[in-house]
Amino acid sequence: MKNNLFMIVSSLFITLSFTSHCVSADDTQPLAPIAPLDIERIFSAPALQGTAPSMVKLSPDGKRVTFIRAKATDNSRFDLWEYNIKDKQLRLLFDADDLHQGDENLSDEEKARRERMRVSGSGILSYSWSADGKALLFPLAGDVFYYFIGAKKAQQLLNTPEFETDIKLSPKGNYISFIRNQNIFIKHIATGKEQALTTQGGGTIKYGMAEFVAQEEMGQLTGYWWAPDESHIAFTRVDETPVDVITRSEIYAERITTIEQKYPKAGTPNVLLELYVQNIQTQQRQAINLGTEQDIYLPRVQWSNTSALLTYQVQSRNQQTLQLFGYDVATQLSTTLLTEHSSTWLNLHDDLHFLRQQDAFIWASERDGFKHLYLYRTNGELLRQLTSGDWVVTSIAAIDENTGSIYINGRKDTPLESHVYAVDMQTSSVQRITELGKHHDVKFAKDASIYVDVFSDINTPAQTGLYFANGQFITWLDENKVSANHPLAPYASEWIAPEFGTIAAPDNTQLHYRLYKPASISGKHPVIVYHYGGPRAQVVTNKWGGNRGLMFQYWAQQGYVVFSIDNRGSYYRGKAFEDPIYKAMGSIEIEDQKLGVDYLRTLDFVDPAKIGVYGHSYGGYMSLMAMFKAPDYFAVGVSGAPVTEWRLYDTHYTERYMGNPNTDKAAYDAASVFPYANNLQGELLIYHGMADDNVLFTHATKLYKHLQDNAKLFHVMDYPGKKHSIRGKNTQIHMFKKITHHFDTYLK
């Protein structure tokens, strides 16, 4: 989804010039004529950010870089591209239109899965490499294509009336696997023989499928895992029988569909989970003993480097205990490898890596207050801590055991930028590899020798280069330089570069902010405060902001001051920065947002009576709380798809931060928007997708009724048939026009 005085502790702003970063000084072509930025252009093709690729991967043999890219004529339809490193040739590998044309009739399960993945569009949206780098697998329109490198065309492996999901290539490339009708199937590629590994899925029973909260809240989008040698598959059996059924309406333009959905609201029963390992050849199935406590989560399952050891993580219902277990396939016994505890909650991660040259694994933990890496023997004995300090390791990018280097993504230099660092496994020395002043998203080759870096800053769209592991540049994959022919070029001369700074909270915690000033700051200007404010998210970054960032630019060019501050509770600052929201959502976040407004009121060009606030999802909740709890701070508000009552939201997310409503009633009452709604004074716009299956439309309608019953005027814009993300080009244009109109009407 998700302090009365202030003190400026840093008046030194990082001012980033669009001209120097985005337009080359050596460019001899004149820039295109100045054009006014408008909302229609922001959401139309070709994308203003240029040709930035996504889903970038290096082939396991290190010979190719592959990625998907939107068509120049359609921002929402994607093709598969390849860069051959040896030949230095970039080419379109597969045009989605050549493989499938017409509508892609997604199953309800696939629609829900894509919503969980925050994936939208059509065409080739995902793909995977074979372990030897000789073949590619990519789903398309519910079926799947297989391409052997060098072949004349791709082979369609599935062509069925059913919509298969979670399609994978087995580790050695001999099989594909997929979910059909809530069961696991495999298909041998060479012979075409298809085999059902499970047959009893259906109704409330699902095999190999991640449950709702696992997909939505745990980042776990699959429920089955191949052993490295293809001998076994581990999988979950999910029984949704205990989960309460909610009846909700999906309201479309010409129909209303009533849906009975298994939805585990906070404080109510979750699914029942079982974990199995099945031999592919003999069909022999082993049941793994998960313990006597059934009210648990199973957030991670992972094979070690061998097919003899399967690991799985068990998280307690209150998410204050996490155990890592190792299961020996031969002896069918489980061993506790480590246990983590927290007095608030434990954040999940994907940083369990088994080493090949020693009997050990690397594990990430926040036990010292910041996420860092630890080295363990495979039997669970702690050897040593590998990284430390008041900064966070974001993730492990690659491990080179030959040189003893761990390449990590982290925030050692600044929480506003992601960088790659090399960590020496023996000395724990940390060396930054990537360039400061940019935000870097990297993908390493399997042998950690080279990496692809997709990097940007707040004023510069993403550029993509290939580098040696030491940071030495090899070649551009997509320079994406904003020269005369770039889609962004016509708007370069009017570009407004934001400023960054920090404000100190009363406890001296440093809060980072970003500030866009109008081109002319004469007179007093209205302000739009954009926030999210919730956990595991960050708003203030030195990174290209996509279409939402372009909206900030548009508003600044229209004369608004646009401001964001990352309050306590948000991400990449360490656990102590996150913990103040525990059993107190909607409190410290608003106090920190008020600190931001206190700062804005000191600026000569800000009209203190015309400050508006906008956010979506948790940010929508924050907008409501800002308007209700601080009406003297915020005159106008826009709340998108908001949570209004945490008892209505799902178990894993809500109980992580708020405890259980059955035992923490007072905390839930205080975090609800309803006790404060009668304080509404300003002009509030609420919008919501009328088919939202995440933050249910009930959140909005319950608040509508409450405000109406109390004769409080407000504004509404609901979107028929739209889910939580409210996708679609024209819908996005309409939504941001409506938001802008609301601010124009009541702030200007």
Query: Do the Cβ atoms of 311 and 301 come closer than 8 Å?
Result: yes
Please report, to the nearest 10 degrees, the dihedral formed by the alpha carbons of residues 467, 471, 473, 475 taken in order: 10
φ/ψ bin of 572: left (φ > 0), alpha (ψ from -120 to 50), beta (otherwise)? left
Rounded-to-integer distance, Cα 287 and Cα 342, Å: 30
Encode burial over 674-691: b for 16+ CB neighbours within 10 A, e otherwise.
eebbeebebbbbbbbbbb
Among this protein's residues, is 120 annotated catalytic? Answer: no
C-alpha dihedral over 625, 548, 635, 498, to 10 degrees? 110
Residues 6+ apart with CB under 8 A from 545: 458, 552
Question: Which is the catalytic residue, given 166, 457, 478, 692?
Answer: 692
Rounded Cα gap, residues 698 and 704, in angstroms: 10
The 3-state DSSP composition of the chain as helix, strand, coil percent (nearest 5) reads: 20, 35, 45
Residue 125 CA: distances (Å) to CA of 80, 122, 303, 475: 9, 7, 26, 26
Dihedral angle of Cα 289, 291, 297, 301, to the nearest 10 degrees = -30
Tell me, yes or no, if 617 is annotated catalytic.
yes
The residue written with tokens 């059993």 in the block is: 583
Whether residue 686 contacts residue 742, with contact meaning beta carbons closer than 8 Å, is answered with no
Spatial distance between the Cα atoms of 75 and 120, rounded to a whole number of angstroms = 11
Residue closest to 718 by CA, chosen among 748, 687, 739, 743: 687
Bridge pairing between strands 636-640 and 606-616: parallel
Largest Cα–Cα distance in the chain?
79
Q: Which of 564, 724, 725, 742 is catalytic?
A: 724
How far apart, in whole angstroms, are the C-alpha atoms of residue 590 and residue 596?
Answer: 10
531 part of the active site: no
Q: Residues 595, 568: contact at Cβ < 8 Å?
A: no
130, 456, 617, 623: which one is catalytic? 617
* Tally of helices (H runs) and strands (E runs) in the chain: 13, 45
Q: Distance (Å, rounded) from C-alpha 528 to C-alpha 22? A: 25
Contacts of residues 331-338 at CB distance under 8 Å and 24 or more positions apart, as own/partner, are 332/286, 334/288, 334/289, 335/379, 335/380, 336/380, 337/311, 337/376, 337/378, 337/379, 337/380, 338/363, 338/376, 338/380, 338/382
CA atoms within 13 A on the CB side of 36: 7
Please state, in angstroms and rounded to a whole number, the distance separating the CA atoms of residues 649 and 265.
5
Give the residue numbers marked as catalytic: 617, 692, 724
